[in-house]
Structure 1
Amino acid sequence: MVDNVDIEILKILNRNSRVTLKELGDQVHMSSPALAERIRKLEDQNVIKKYSIEVNPEKLGFVRPVFINVQITNPNHEKYLDFVAENRNFMLHHYRTTGNSNYLIEGAFQSTEELDNFLSKLSNFATYDVTDVVHFFF
C-alpha cells in the first residue's frame, strides 16, 4: 500500500530520478537504508516501473514537433503497429485513444520534408490530422 511518504518520494523521483539517496532522504526525513528499502518495495510492487530520461528534441535537431491524430482505415491494426515500431525514432509518445481517432502520436521531425515523408507512409494505413506545436514548455 502506498502512503504519503511514498507519494512524496515518487514526486521527487519524477522531477529528478538521479537524485542521490542522501539528498532524497534529507527531503523526506529518512535514512538512506530505510529509503532504499521503500524504493525497492515500490519497484517490487511495480509502482515504479522504470527510470528514464527526458530529452529536449530541439537540442537534437528535431525542430518540427507535431501531434498526429490517427484514424485507422483497416480493422486490422497490425500493419499500422508494425509501421509505428519501424518509425519509433520519430515518436516521443504513442497512445491508443478513444473518440474520433484510434491513436495519437506525439512526434518530432528534423525537417518539413522528413515529416512529409513520414505522413506519406502513414497514409498507407490511416487517415490523420496534424497539429503543429508552436512552443515547448519544459
Structure 2
Amino acid sequence: MPDEIDLAIIKQLNRDARIKVSHLAQLVHLTAPAVAARIQRLEDAGIITRYTVEVDLDKLGFPRQVFIQVAVQDRQHAAYLALVKRHHNDFRHHYRTTGQFDYLLEGAFQDRHVLTSFLQTLGTLATYEVIDVIDDI
C-alpha cells in the first residue's frame, strides 16, 4: 500500500514524468537512491503502469475535442468495439461506464467532417451524446 511519500512521488511524476530523480528526491526529502527504489517498487507493484506525454491537440491538428457517451444497442457490442478499434487514432481514452450509457470516449478529430462520419456509423450501432470541449483549463 502506498504511503504519503509514495503519493507525493506519484503526484510529482504525474506533473512531470521526465523529472530527474535527484530533483524529485529533494522535493520529497529523501535520497535519490531511496526515491529510485520507491519508483521501482511502485512499477513492480503495477501502481505506476506507464509514463505518458501530453500534447497540444490543436497544434497537432486535432482541434475537435469531444467526449462521446455511448449506449450500445442489444447485440451490437462486438460491432461497436470493432468500430472503435478502426478509429483508435481518434481516441485518447475509452471507458466502460455505469448508468444510462455503456461507454465514454474521449476523442480528438481533425475536423467536423471526420467526426460526423464517425458519428453516422456509430448511430447505426448505438445512441450517443456528444459533449464538445470548449477549453482546457
CA distance in structure 2 between the partners assigned to 1:73 and 1:56 by the alignment: 34
1:21-100 map, 5 Å: 21-100=21-100
- Give 2:6's aligned residue: 6
- Give 2:127's aligned residue: 127
CA shift at 1:91, angstroms? 0.9
CA shift at 1:6, angstroms? 0.6
- Give 1:101's aligned residue: 101
Amino acid at match of 2:18: R
CA-based RMSD: 1.2
Deviation digits for residues 20-66 of structure 1, max 9, x if unmatched? 01110111111111111111111111111111112121111111111
Amino acid at match of 1:123: G
Runs of 4+ in structure 1 displaced over 2 angstroms? none
CA shift at 1:11, angstroms? 0.6
CA distance in structure 2 between the partners assigned to 1:38 and 1:3 by the alignment: 10
CA distance in structure 2 between the partners assigned to 1:5 and 1:64 by the alignment: 39
Unaligned residue ranges in structure 2 (runs of 5+): none
CA shift at 1:75, angstroms? 3.1
CA shift at 1:86, angstroms? 1.2
Q: Does structure 1 retain, via aligned residues, the 8 Å contact 2:63–2:111?
A: yes
**Percent of aligned positions that are identical:** 45
Q: TM-score, normalised by structure 1?
A: 0.93
DSSP 3-state at the match of 2:68 = strand
Aligned length: 137
Unaligned residue ranges in structure 1 (runs of 5+): none
CA distance in structure 2 between the partners assigned to 1:27 and 1:133 by the alignment: 34
Q: TM-score, normalised by structure 2?
A: 0.94
CA distance in structure 2 between the partners assigned to 1:115 and 1:121 by the alignment: 10
CA shift at 1:92, angstroms? 1.6
